[in-house]
Amino acid sequence: MIDIKEGRIESLLKNAVERAKFNNEPQIISITKQINNIDPLHVFESARKFSTNRTFWTSTADDYWLVGAGSVHRITASSDRFDKTEEKWQEILGKAIIHNPFDVPGTGLLAMGGMSFDPKGSKSALWKNFDESSFIIPEFLLTVHNSSSYFTVTVKVHPADEPEKLADSLREKEAVLLSSPDYFPQEVDIQSTEEIAPDEWKQVVQRATEEIRHSTTDKIVLARELRLKLSANVEITAVLNNLISSQPNSFVFAFEREGDCFVGATPERLVKLEQDRLLSTCLAGTAPRGETKAEDDQIAETLLHDEKNRSEHDFVVKMIRQAMEKYCSDVNIPDKPVIYPLRNLQHLYTPVSATLNKDFSIFDIVKELHPTPALGGVPRDTSLEFIRKYENVDRGWYGAPIGWLDSSRNGEFAVGIRSGLIRGNEVSLFAGCGVVKDSNPEAEYEETKIKFKPMMSVLGG
């Protein structure tokens, strides 16, 4: 990684062009500056004027926002996804010119993206624009951290590029991004819904309970799909705006690939890394919210003492502990969970913190944690084998790691749940539940209906 001193953008680009000529290959340069505060949603909406590869990420509880526009470079991998993505990322960092005077997570050179739930799982044309692993280095990046805003321009220069012309082009795009959009998107209405093979799904749940009773498998997580048709093409910015206002304590995200967009509001952090300090969270065990505070408190108390949900939660805590102890020191886990309230649902919640050892990266932790027992099952291998054989749903990026990482050893990944894939005026929503030996297919079906609600509510349902 090469840091350079402050200077005008032309001189910074000239430096990069000279390096590209010397090495006879394209050169990535990243330049970060602080700017006046601006609405991240406005930047995301303005970016549609020149890009079909936009990215949005926010943790509203932390006042943290990322908006990516365009694509300078895409890191993809189909096999050994975690190791190869990390290897390619480190190769890029080793050659990049990074001008970033700010010690702020998510500034400087950054990659945003995700992976499919299972590269060996059922496949369809639904997710054709989403690779098994795909991380984009955006051309333009807005970072909002503790109410301060930063703007990063990343460009891949070539030996024949002219710095002045390149700088003018970047300024023109920056002006578009940082100005208010011509209009703010309007909401649409749901015209029709289609449950994909609900009866067959219940039969698979029943088969899973029998499998668990007669084998060493403890739990199998099964997902299903609900398809919506809308009155017009879905406006992603409007969906994000609704999710931000209606789903506090969540990670609101959008990953756009050639116009198709995976969007949602997940409450489940997989892992957060700041320098060497690591935070993971166990969020397993689900119940609805009550109509009154008394009812809500009663449901929460029941959830805290429910044998099935506590067992499901303990599976995840145990797995996270094992993963952390393999790569970290100073692992700290509370003795019992607390309630994590969302608008439509409440969950059992346990935070896990640790110090990541120097020889490892965030991808080592993501690889170890995915899929968690809350999304795959226990044991992992046998539950995944059952899912591949019987689930018959192309999960794509649903339930998979999504997030970002920067050039200063910071990053954050969440689990892509409470989500949907938007394609024009059609949306595929996904929801799952953990099946154990005493699970009732009808009850599990009703649980998935509850989990569809956050996305349904922001799409006009």
C-alpha distances (whole Å) from 153 to each of 73, 143, 435 are 13, 11, 47
Peptide bond into 371 cis (omega under 30): yes
Give the helix/strand (H/E) hosting 381: helix 380-390
Of 173, 219, 272, 367, which is the active-site residue?
219
Cis (ω within 30 of 0) for the bond into 40?
Answer: no
**Residue 18 designated active-site:** no
The distance between the two most distant Cα atoms of the chain, rounded to a whole number of Å, is 70
Find the catalytic residue in 268, 391, 412, 444. Answer: 268
Q: Any known ligand binding at 91?
A: no
Paired tokens of 300: 């929460």
Residues 307 and 377 sit within 8 Å (Cβ to Cβ): no
* Cis, peptide link before residue 334, omega less than 30° from 0: no
Point out which residues pair with 55 in neighbouring strands.
68, 255
In angstroms, the CA 113 to CA 61 distance is 21
Q: Count other Cβ atoms within 10 Å, centred on residue 384.
A: 20
219 is catalytic: yes
C-alpha 277/C-alpha 351 separation (Å) is 13
Q: Distance between CA atoms of 131 and 293, rounded to whole angstroms?
A: 44
Structural tokens at position 358: 């120097």
Contacts of 102 (CB under 8 A, 6+ apart): 32, 34, 108, 150
Q: Which residues contact 53 (CB under 8 A, 6 or more apart)?
A: 69, 70, 71, 136, 138, 256, 257, 258
172 known member of a binding site: no
User: Three-state SS for 182?
Assistant: coil
**Cα 64 from Cα 106, distance rounded (Å):** 9
**Are 113 and 133 a contacting pair, CB within 8 Å?**
yes
* Catalytically annotated residues: 219, 268
Binding site as annotated, residues? 312, 447
Binding site as annotated, residues for Mg(2+)? 312, 447
